[in-house]
Structure 1
Amino acid sequence: MEIVSQIKACRLCADRFAATETRHRPNPILQGTPSARLLIASQAPGMRAHQSSTPFLDPSGDRLRDWLGLDEVAFYDADKVAIVPMAFCFPGYRKGADLPPPPICARTWRAQALAAFPNIALTLMIGGYAQKWHLGVKTGVTDTVAGWRTHFPRLIPLPHPSWRNTAWLKRNPWFEEALLPVLRARVAEVLT
């Protein structure tokens, strides 16, 4: 796909990334083909994804795959699953924490990237950045995810599967009890 090649060649943020604690180079990461039926709209690749050039190849990916009821083979099947983050590169660290996705990435590439996936039947919006862009919401992640039925069956907002959100998951047991079974069933329906 030409748009994927163009995104992978992007170096818009080279100076920005060179100025972070990690002083890394751009490494745009995404997956998908026009036949993909499931879109994972995430925030931005983490350091491990940056190092491996593979999205969600870390503990948050393990948790996400569990939420979706998918093994690694199904998750990384680009003909079925598109992974298109809000920013395609790891944004770097500031004081040991991930920087937010640079807005220039979504402004430059998002519309073109999404247009390359015409067969998407389900979009999962992971985290506040993706939820704000796709839904135009001004609410926080908790309220947006709690209101998931409003957007179902084509859109499902999710919290980030990071270990940092373990406390959030404990405070919101409805997520595991009510949303995860529906999510798994909908993902299975879309991918078969």
Structure 2
Amino acid sequence: MGDQLRRLIAEAQACRLCEAQLPLGPRPVFTARAAATVVLVGQAPGSRVHASGIPWDDASGRTLRAWLDLPSETFYHHPGLAILPSGFCYPGRTARGDAPPRPECAQTWHRRFFAAMPHVQLIVAIGRYAQVLYLEAPGKTLSDNVARYAEYLPQGRFPLPHPSPRNRRWVRDRPWFEADVLPALRRAVHGALAACKP
């Protein structure tokens, strides 16, 4: 890992920018690697991930790893895989579930991390918040974005729904997702990871 990225990771881990708005206090959870060719951009850590400090350490993570066809060892240790949530810290809850990621986070950190990871070929935009950040001309709905995944691939983007258990019905009602989108996702991610040169 280069000195630039090492310093940036330490700075982000010490971030207190949103401390007053975080119900459990700041605990940035992310993974950055200098050789990364794939970056997973999701929403924000949930309470379980906040407690463990391990990205995607929950039911959503198990589903995501199945979608990507990546065992835990590869998911957590491959030098080509980075994880940058839209918000690095748990934002709390609303009546409808987890609160949105704090907007200050991506604004403050994402550009700097991508500059320190110059080999990124593919951004997997997981959920609506990530898609607003990283898709050019996103559709009106998340379903529109995911259905149009092939249009975004030449830009190095791949839109996904959030793998939360709450979205099982979304997947069930759209058989094209498992039939068409997941095979294309696996090809894109595995191909980009294979291009990693640690």
TM-score range, shorter-chain basis?
over 0.9
Alpha-carbon spacing, 1:91–1:78, altered in 2? closer, same or farther (3 Å): farther
Quick one: structure 1 residues 144 and 2, their matched pair in 2 at CA, closer, same or farther if it must change by over 3 Å?
same
Q: Hey, what's the Cα distance between the residues in 1 that align with 2:185 and 2:139?
A: 23
Equivalent residue, structure 1, for 2:153: 152
1:100-141: CA deviations, max 9, x gaps?
011111122121122121111111000111101111425211
In the alignment, which residue of structure 2 is the partner of 1:106? 106
The letter of the residue matching 1:148 is Y
TM-score under structure 1 length normalisation: 0.93
**Aligned-CA RMSD value:** 1.3
| 2:3 counterpart residue number | none
1:33, distance to aligned residue in structure 2 (A): 1.0
Shift of 1:95: 3.4
Q: Give the secondary-structure state (helix, strand or coil) at the position aligned to 1:151.
A: helix
Instruction: State the 4+ residue runs in structure 1 displaced beyond 3 angstroms.
Output: none
- 2:71 is aligned to 71
8 Å CA contact 1:32–1:79 kept in 2: the answer is: no
| Distance across 1 between alignment mates of 2:108 and 2:100 | 16
Q: Which of 167, 175, 178 matches 1:176?
A: 178
- Secondary structure at 2:62 match in 1: helix
Equivalent in 6, 11, 20 of residue 15 of structure 1: 20
What TM-score, normalized to structure 2? 0.90
Match of 1:57 in 2: 57
Q: 2:169 pairs with 167, 170, 185, which one?
A: 167
Please give the alpha-carbon distance, in whole angstroms, between the structure 2 residues aligned to 1:174 and 1:96: 27
Mapping of residues 112-131 of structure 1, within 5 Å: 112-131=112-131
**1:3 aligns with one of 8, 17, 20:** 8
Q: Secondary structure at the match of 2:158?
A: strand
Higher mean displacement: 121-130 or 109-118: 109-118
SS of the counterpart of 2:159?
strand
Number of equivalent positions: 187
Q: Is the 8 A contact 2:134 2:157 kept in 1?
A: no
**Alpha-carbon displacement from aligned partner over 1:15-51 (angstroms, at most 9, x marks no partner):** 111xxxxx31100011021101111011111111100
Give me the whole-angstrom Cα distance separating, in 2, the residues matched to 1:3 and 1:89.
Answer: 16
Give, in whole Å, the separation in 1 of the partners of 2:96 and 2:152: 35
1:38 aligns with 2:43: no
Contact between 1:34 and 1:117, CA under 8 Å: does it hold in 2?
A: yes
Q: Quote the Cα distance in structure 1 between the aligned partners of 2:96 and 2:145.
A: 28
* Residues 66 and 123 of structure 1: CA distance in aligned 2, closer, same or farther (over 3 Å): same
Look up the match of 1:29.
29
Q: Structure 1: 5+ residue runs without aligned partners?
A: 18-22
